[in-house]
Structure 1
Amino acid sequence: MRVEQLVSEPAYTFGGRPAALTVAPGTVVELSTEDCFGGAVRGVDDLPSQVCQFPYLNPVTGPIAVEGAEPGDTVAVHFVDIRPRRDWAISSTFPHFGALTATHTTAMLHDALPERVWRYEVDVERWVCRFLARSSDFSVELPLDPMHGTVGVAPAASEVIMSITPGAHGGNMDTPEMRAGTTAYFGVNVPGALISLGDGHCRQGEGEVCGTAVEAAMSTVVVVDLIKGVPCPWPRLEDDRYLMSTGSARPLEDAFRISQHDLVGWTGELLGLDALDAYQLVSQAGLAPAGNVVDTNYTMLAKIAKDIVAPQAFDGVHNRLRATAREYLAQR
C-alpha cells in the first residue's frame, strides 16, 4: 500500500492549475483542508463580509493527478477518514445567500436577512458538536457526521470554474453523502484528472438551507483509483448500501432531472434493462436527497439500494478501495 502526503497552497478554482501531487492508481493520500472561510472567521464577532475577501472563499486542496488518467476514463476517490482539526467550527447567515432569503437572482423589496455567525464547540473524542443559540440559552449536542462539500476534477476544454460552483466536474455539491466510507466517481476531462477537495463540514442538513454547514478545517485521508475506458457523465457516488447519481443546475427541477436521468441510465446498464423498464424501477425504488439549494447551481441526488440494482458497480472498485481503507486504518 503506497501512502503519500499532499501539501498545497489553497486554491479557489477547478482547472487552471498544475498538479500539486502525482500518484499511481491505488495510492492513499493524506491531506488537510481549510474551512470555507479560510480560517478567518473564528468567533461570533468575525462577520465574513468584514474578515473574508471575495472570491477567496471555499479553498480547495490539490490538484492530485492520477497517472494514466485520460479523457474518457473515470477516477474514483474513496474517503477513508475525515475528522475536524480544531475544537471549533463556524456557520453563518449572509444577507443575500441561502434558501430562505432574497438573492441576486431572486430579487425582493424586503430587507435581506442579517449577517450572523454561530460558533460550534467540537469534541472529536466524544464525536459531537454543540449548537449554541444566539438569542437564548438553548444549546444541544449534535453527532458529528464529517463530509466534504467540495470535491471534483478539472473541467473540460481548459475551462476554469470557481470552487463555489457545482457542475458535471463535481465541485461544490454540498451533499452529506460525501462522508467516510463513500467512493465518488468523476469523469476525466484532462490528462491526470486533477482532483481537488475542500469545504469540510462537521455535519450538514440536506439542502444546506441557510447557505453554510458546520464549517471546519479537516484532516482527510482518501484513496484514489482509475477506471480505464469507462466514462462517467456526472459525478456518481457509492457506499456500502446505495448507488447515487448527482445533477447540478438551476432551476432545482433540472438538477433533479439530471440526477434521475443518470440513475435511470446507470440502472439500465447494470441490469440490462431498456430505458422504460429502468425508468419504472427507479421511479418505485429510488430516493432523492438534496445536496445544496443555495449555491450558484443547485445539486440533487438520485439513489437506489444496491441490493435491488447490483452488488457491484465499476467492476467492484468500491469494495477494493474499502479493503485498502481498512488496511490503512488498521496500520495507523
Structure 2
Amino acid sequence: MSLSDRVISVPVDPDRYAYSFGGGSPVVTVRPGSVVELFTEDCFGGRVRGPADLPSQVCAFPYLNPVTGPIAVAGAEPGDALAVHFVDIAPARDWGVSSTFPHFGALTATHTTAMLHPALEERVWVYGIDTKAGTCRFEATRGDFAVDLPLDPMHGTVGVAPAAGERLMSISPGVHGGNMDTPELRAGTTVYFPVNVEGAMFAVGDGHARQGEGEVCGTAVECAMNTVVAVDLVKGGAPAVPRLESDDFLLSTGHARPLEDAFRISQHDLVQWTANLLGLDRLDAYQLVSQAGLAPAANVCDTQYTMVAKLPKSVLGGARAYEGAHERLRALGAEYLRQR
C-alpha cells in the first residue's frame, strides 16, 4: 500500500468535538501504520480572542478543552499498546492566548486549597505568533515590557478511552493520558498508551504554541493547531501509564495529587521499564535511573498533577522500546513530510 493510501484527513467539524475521553462514536477509523491529518481548536474553543474576552464570560463549562476525535484504530484490543507519533504540530493562527483564572493555577487558592484571601484577577494575554521567525511575543498588560519567546508547539491533551466504560473530562489527566500538559509532547515524540477498549479511541487537543514546565498559571500560550500523527499498534504489553519516547529519551508519566505521588508513579514506571528493557535487577535499574534520570514537571494545576521521569537513551546500550515502534513511525513521518 502506498503512503498516499495511508493518509487520512479528519474533517473539521466543531459539532463533533469531544469534551471527554470515553463514550461517543469514532469520527474515523484508521489502520495501524496510518498517517492522520487533523485540526484542533484551542482550549477556549476559539472564543477568547482579546483582552476583553474573559473566559468566565465567553466560555461555558463543561465545554472547555475540546479534543478532535475519538479516532478508532482497527485491531486495537484491551491489553495492546497504542503508539501515537507526532509528525508535525503547527499553529493554525497567527495568535495565541493565555490567562489567569480565579481559583485555578499553582499560586492561588483553588477548590482543594481553600484560602480567605481574594481570588486572583481574571486577565487575558494575547501573543502574536510569527511562524517564519519561530517566535511568539509576550507583551505585559501593565507597562511596556515585551519579549519574543521561541515557539515550541506541543499538545497538552492526548489520550485514549479509559477502561470499564468510564468517561473522564478532557481537562483531567490520568492513566488514559488526557490533559497531561507536558512540554515533552512535541513533534518528533511518540506516546504509548494502554488500550482499554476496542479501537483504543484516541483523541487530541489543547495545542500550545509554547509552555513552561508546570504550566504554573494554569494556561499555556493556547493555540489552534494543524497536526499530523502516525499511529501503530504493539500487541500486548500495554503500559501502566502513558510513556513517551523521543530520539534521545525514554519518559514515563505519573498523575496524582499530591505532587510527590505523581513523582513517585513516574519514577516507579521508569525503573520498571528500564529493568525490563535491560534485563536488570529492579534495584540495579533503580540505581541507574537515580543517577542518570531527570524529573521535569508537566502540570501543577490540573485536577491531578503530572510529573515526568526522563532517562537518556544513551545509557540503554542500544535496547529498543516497543519493538522499535518509535523508529518505524519516525521514518513514516519523515516520508510523509518529504512527499507533502
Q: Counterpart of 1:114?
A: 121
- 1:209 is paired with a residue whose SS is coil
- Is 1:36 matched up with 2:43? yes
Equivalents in 1 of 2:155, 2:231: separation in Å? 15
Q: Select the residue among 319, 329, 337 that pairs with 1:321.
A: 329
Write the deviation string for residues 5-25 of structure 1: whole angstroms up to 9, x where unpaired.
112521100001111111110
Task: Identify unmatched segments of 5+ residues in structure 1.
Answer: none
Q: Counterpart of 1:251?
A: 258
Q: Select the residue among 173, 182, 191 that pairs with 2:180.
A: 173
Q: Counterpart of 1:68?
A: 75
Query: Superposed, which structure 2 residues align to 1:1-332 within 5 Å?
Result: 1=3, 2-7=6-11, 8=13, 9-311=16-318, 312-332=320-340
Runs of 4+ in 1 over 4 A off after TM superposition: none
Equivalents in 1 of 2:317, 2:160: separation in Å? 26
Count of aligned pairs: 332
Write the deviation string for residues 217-238 of structure 1: whole angstroms up to 9, x where unpaired.
0000000100012221100000
Q: TM-score, normalised by structure 1?
A: 0.99
Equivalents in 2 of 1:59, 1:178: separation in Å? 18
Equivalents in 1 of 2:236, 2:87: separation in Å? 25
Report if aligned partners of 1:153, 1:193 keep a CA contact under 8 Å in 2.
Answer: yes
Give the residue type in structure 1 aligned to 2:314.
D
Q: CA RMSD in A?
A: 0.7
* C-alpha displacement of 1:143: 0.9
Give the residue type in structure 1 aligned to 2:7.
V
Equivalents in 1 of 2:151, 2:177: separation in Å? 24
Report if aligned partners of 2:18, 2:70 keep a CA contact under 8 Å in 1.
Answer: no
* C-alpha displacement of 1:183: 0.2
- 1:270 is paired with a residue whose SS is helix
Q: Percentage identity across aligned positions?
A: 71
Give the residue type in structure 1 aligned to 2:209.
C
Write the deviation string for residues 45-71 of structure 1: whole angstroms up to 9, x where unpaired.
100000000110000001111111000
Q: TM-score, normalised by structure 2?
A: 0.97
Equivalents in 1 of 2:256, 2:71: separation in Å? 26
